[in-house]
Structure 1
Amino acid sequence: MNAAAPSRLVDKALAPRFALLCLGVWLNAADTLVTATIMPSVAREIGGYQYFGWSVAAYLTGSIVAGACSGKLSTGLGLRAATALTGLIYAVGCAMSALAPEFVTFILGRLIQGLGAGAVVALCYVAITALFPERLWPRVYGAVAGVWGAATLLGPLLGGLFAAAGFWRGAFWLFVVQAVIFVGAVLVMLPADKGDTGRGRIPTLQLALLVVGVSLIGGAGVVASPGLAATLAVGGMVGMAAMLAVNARTHDRLLPRNAADLRTATGLGLLTIFATEAAVIGFTVYGPAFIQVRHHASPLTAGYVVGAIAAGWTLCAMVFGHTPAQKDGRLVRLGAGVILVGAALSAWATARGTLIETAAAFAVLGAGFGLAHAFVARRAIGAAPADEQAMASSAVPTSQLIGGAAGAAGAGALANVLGFSHGVDPTLAASHGLVLFGAFLPLAVVGFAAAWRLGR
């Protein structure tokens, strides 16, 4: 769009596209909170508590693969066809999770579900930069954050109701229906566009290295030997580092060339997103289980306490979404600092605090993301070359997903080492729980350091 483009999101030309973005983001936002709420019930019915972290890692691995390829997918198939296809894949994954008779099938369903969800969200980010002028990006990010607010209220409620009724499978069937509606909306609302297959080749080597790296890290969460877990985790990090090295030296890239260059705003922004997400994903993975055991809370209550993270994020994103570009450096630094403080408070509160203290700590943690995330994304995307804008846009959620997968796998490995392989032991929750959640604080420090430089 040019300078004369509409400046209001409710403009007739922009409203249908904005509604479509909201629906796509809703699928991922609500799915995350619903699944976090029902996972203890899932593990009790079909077993596999020792693979608890892998259920999250499988979903995020699929999301990473799809998100990393979404920019290429959109240029190869066209935005409308790519988004409709990935929405259909998401529906198939939800159906597999709903029908799973045991945990292996459930994990496979979560993997396919992640493939669809990761691509849908990443393509929504691509659509923001493709369908809206740059001056509206922060406003769009802030407005879309309202969807997370709705998910914060409805996600734990839906998950808690299904878990309390002993019908957690119904939650996945509900998302099958929503995904079908999303696909229909895509075909109706998005304009037809032709892909450019000449520029849509998938960078298979980088993708293979990424899958191997994430899989090794995920494998660290399902082995009993601490030494083997550490070896797998290190091997996974080496695999991802190799992917970044190859990505910087090849023509067909799945991430911006400067993704690993910390001298650039793009590199610093993606590192901030990765490190902060890896530092806090453990609260989403194990928070509901700890809350249910320590406080004898229902799945509904546990879901809403963990949902305080999304609530804090949403509120701050909506309040500060209109901050002009000249001042966003301050919010980048402030938000990363609040994330660091919130992570430390949440580690203590989840293991030893009351329900109110835990919810308050989670709200502070989420507020940090709400303060910084949109502006970190704007700086990371805006600093990329014009021919890499689509890749930079999809790299924002992809970096967050990579951080989530690494953090979830690491939390799973550490949980098994600490004695939580068969559930949360109340006698160990206070002491070992503090270690489980506090061990990832150094990553929050890394994120803060990168954000401090980015805020210049």
Structure 2
Amino acid sequence: MSTSQQTASWSELFSGKNGIRAVALCGGVVVHAINVYIVTTIMPSVVQDLGGLEYYAWNTTLFIAASILGSALSSSAIGRLGLRSSYLSAILIFILGSMGAAMTPSMTLLLVARTIQGLGGGLLLGLSFASVRMVFAPRFWPRTMALISSMWGVATLAGPAVGGIFAESGAWRLAFWSTVPVAVGVALLVNSQLKTKKEQRESRLVQTPILKIVLLTLSVLVLSFGSLTTSWPLMMLCLVVVVSIIYGIARDDLNGNNPLFPSGTYSLKQPLGSLYAGIGLMSIGVTSEVFIPYFLQHIHGIRPFAAGYMTALMSAGWTTGSILMSGRSRQFANKLLIISPLLSALCLAILGVLMPWQALSLHHHMTWVMFIPLFGVGLGVGMIWPHLSTRVFLSTQPGQENMASAAITTLQMYAMSIGAALAGMITTSAGFNTGTLAGAQRSASWLLLCFALMPIIFVCVSKAARQAGQPTEPPADA
């Protein structure tokens, strides 16, 4: 599977049972992704109604922190419940969270509901990635990973539209209700297409490292707490606590004590470590989209509906890049591992200059110029995403396949949660909580320019990732 000739075509993926199964796996991602864009679009309206501007970043942080817990448990869920029952359980949890968010009377209870939503969404994402290597032969992996990524493109159309319509009509609660019938439809599809527990038993049951998962989630909450303060000493203390937790988990994993992540994760000289670093750093870069609707509305006066769609350009770029580049050869993909992160970094830096510049919309009426870098940020991520994910499968030691595939989502969610918390720290320090135009402008500049460094760091540590998946290496069991 090291060349494009060995990669299955799109027609092969969509033919017969393969196509039905692919749609079933993608359904969970659709539910989660649409919800992400609905909430991103309606959050300014939610804050206006419920208050709690200081918890703006927490809404995303808690959602993703709970997603980490869900995605980390997905591998264990498959072994204990089977693929179908795991999916149905995840959808039920997600529906309960959506209903709670729709009925919440306060920002505090909304955060609780969003946490429940995140748990269900994390399970759905983890199950989708972990299922690829269980359901499809290796040559289908790049196309399937690209298809799963493209579901975020579906979300860019549906999410901002639903969220924008309800936000502008003052009925943001209905936006949460709208996700329920979609989730029910996915549940019906999963129930009819995925295998039962008896049929799906593939790997031995392993003890779930619950304590490590809880500590990983706790580290996100600690960093989020630090994002609420303007005290640099307290911020630094929170960072020290987070680093200490990560160090403790890594040290215990390296000692072989019921590891949370597979062998090779903690060394950038190993393909798996470099690949996971790429997944994490590129994910942090796009987390800036959490604040984009707020910046567009408060700096440039753009309406919620339009601001939501402009923000969605990042995911549209991600989807486009994944589809266009999923069938490329290993040699071409190695070039993408350098070019794509640099593209994302450049576009984030450009946004860091354009976003705070109010005259762009007020005097020049050229807000559309930001379409290009917004799309480019996601395009840079999407072009390498199928190759990063596929190379993780190929670089995993026998017996750790489910752990490695579930770790893709766990690390992605963790990186996004850390990114949201760091974004909260940066924007708070820049004056975001003042609610003024000057505070929003400073926040936009500092946030986007700082996050532009993340893809550049990946380029510096990508050597082992470019060596992953060589034809001479034995592939992981299919």
Name the TM tier (shorter chain). Answer: over 0.9
Does residue 427 in structure 1 map to residue 401 in structure 2?
no
1:299 corresponding residue in structure 2: 304
Are the counterparts in 1 of residues 337 and 459 from structure 2 also a CA contact under 8 Å?
no
Within 2, Cα distance between the matches of 1:407 and 1:89?
A: 25
Within 1, Cα distance between the matches of 2:197 and 2:344?
A: 40
Does residue 327 in structure 1 map to residue 332 in structure 2?
yes
What is the letter of the counterpart of residue 313 of structure 1?
A: W
Cα drift, residue 223 of structure 1: 2.9
Q: Secondary structure at the match of 2:433?
A: coil
1:442 corresponding residue in structure 2: 453
1:241 corresponding residue in structure 2: 247
Within 2, Cα distance between the matches of 1:443 and 1:315?
A: 21
What do residues 254-276 of structure 1 show as CA deviations (whole Å, max 9, x unaligned)?
32122112121111011111112
Within 2, Cα distance between the matches of 1:228 and 1:222?
A: 10
Does residue 400 in structure 1 map to residue 391 in structure 2?
no
> What are the within-5 Å matches in structure 2 for residues 408-427 of structure 1?
408-423=420-435, 425-427=436-438
Cα drift, residue 251 of structure 1: 4.5
Within 2, Cα distance between the matches of 1:437 and 1:340?
A: 9
Q: Pick from 359, 363, 367: which aligns with 1:355? A: 367
Q: Secondary structure at the match of 2:461?
A: helix
Cα drift, residue 187 of structure 1: 1.7
Are the counterparts in 1 of residues 60 and 417 from structure 2 also a CA contact under 8 Å?
yes
Cα drift, residue 250 of structure 1: 2.9
Cα drift, residue 152 of structure 1: 1.4
What is the letter of the counterpart of residue 264 of structure 1?
A: Q
What is the letter of the counterpart of residue 167 of structure 1?
A: A
What is the letter of the counterpart of residue 454 of structure 2?
A: L
What do residues 152-199 of structure 1 show as CA deviations (whole Å, max 9, x unaligned)?
122111111010111111111111222222222222211112358962
What is the letter of the counterpart of residue 186 of structure 1?
A: V
Within 2, Cα distance between the matches of 1:216 and 1:403?
A: 14
Does residue 382 in structure 1 map to residue 386 in structure 2?
no
Q: TM-score, normalization: structure 2?
A: 0.90
Within 1, Cα distance between the matches of 2:370 and 2:248?
A: 39
Are the counterparts in 2 of residues 121 and 397 from structure 1 also a CA contact under 8 Å?
yes
Q: Which moved more, 1:445-454 or 1:227-236?
A: 445-454
What do residues 79-131 of structure 1 show as CA deviations (whole Å, max 9, x unaligned)?
11111111111111111111111111111111110100011011011111110
Within 2, Cα distance between the matches of 1:48 and 1:437?
A: 24
| Structure 2 residues without counterparts, runs of 5 or longer | 1-5, 361-365, 468-478
Within 1, Cα distance between the matches of 2:228 and 2:466?
A: 38
The 1:84/1:69 distance shift into structure 2, 3 A limit, reads: same
> What are the within-5 Å matches in structure 2 for residues 37-436 of structure 1?
37-194=41-198, 199-282=205-288, 284-352=289-357, 354-423=366-435, 425-436=436-447
Within 1, Cα distance between the matches of 2:254 and 2:171?
A: 47
After TM superposition, what 4+ stretches of structure 1 lie above 4 angstroms from structure 2? 195-198
What is the letter of the counterpart of residue 437 of structure 2?
A: P
Are the counterparts in 2 of residues 332 and 452 from structure 1 also a CA contact under 8 Å?
no
Are the counterparts in 2 of residues 156 and 307 from structure 1 also a CA contact under 8 Å?
yes
Count of paired positions:
451
Are the counterparts in 2 of residues 266 and 381 from structure 1 also a CA contact under 8 Å?
no
What do residues 196-245 of structure 1 show as CA deviations (whole Å, max 9, x unaligned)?
89624211231132122111112112234232122112312321232222
Are the counterparts in 1 of residues 132 and 141 from structure 2 also a CA contact under 8 Å?
yes
Within 2, Cα distance between the matches of 1:234 and 1:64?
A: 21
What is the letter of the counterpart of residue 347 of structure 2?
A: G
Within 1, Cα distance between the matches of 2:181 and 2:206?
A: 30
2:473 corresponding residue in structure 1: none
| Structure 1 residues without counterparts, runs of 5 or longer | none
Within 2, Cα distance between the matches of 1:247 and 1:112?
A: 28
> What are the within-5 Å matches in structure 2 for residues 8-23 of structure 1?
8-23=12-27
Within 2, Cα distance between the matches of 1:422 and 1:84?
A: 43
Are the counterparts in 2 of residues 269 and 450 from structure 1 also a CA contact under 8 Å?
no
The 1:234/1:279 distance shift into structure 2, 3 A limit, reads: farther
What is the letter of the counterpart of residue 191 of structure 1?
A: K
Are the counterparts in 1 of residues 145 and 389 from structure 2 also a CA contact under 8 Å?
no
What is the letter of the counterpart of residue 247 of structure 2?
A: A
> What is the percentage of aligned positions where both structures have the same residue?
26
Within 1, Cα distance between the matches of 2:205 and 2:387?
A: 29
Are the counterparts in 2 of residues 349 and 361 from structure 1 also a CA contact under 8 Å?
no
The 1:197/1:17 distance shift into structure 2, 3 A limit, reads: closer
Within 1, Cα distance between the matches of 2:460 and 2:137?
A: 31
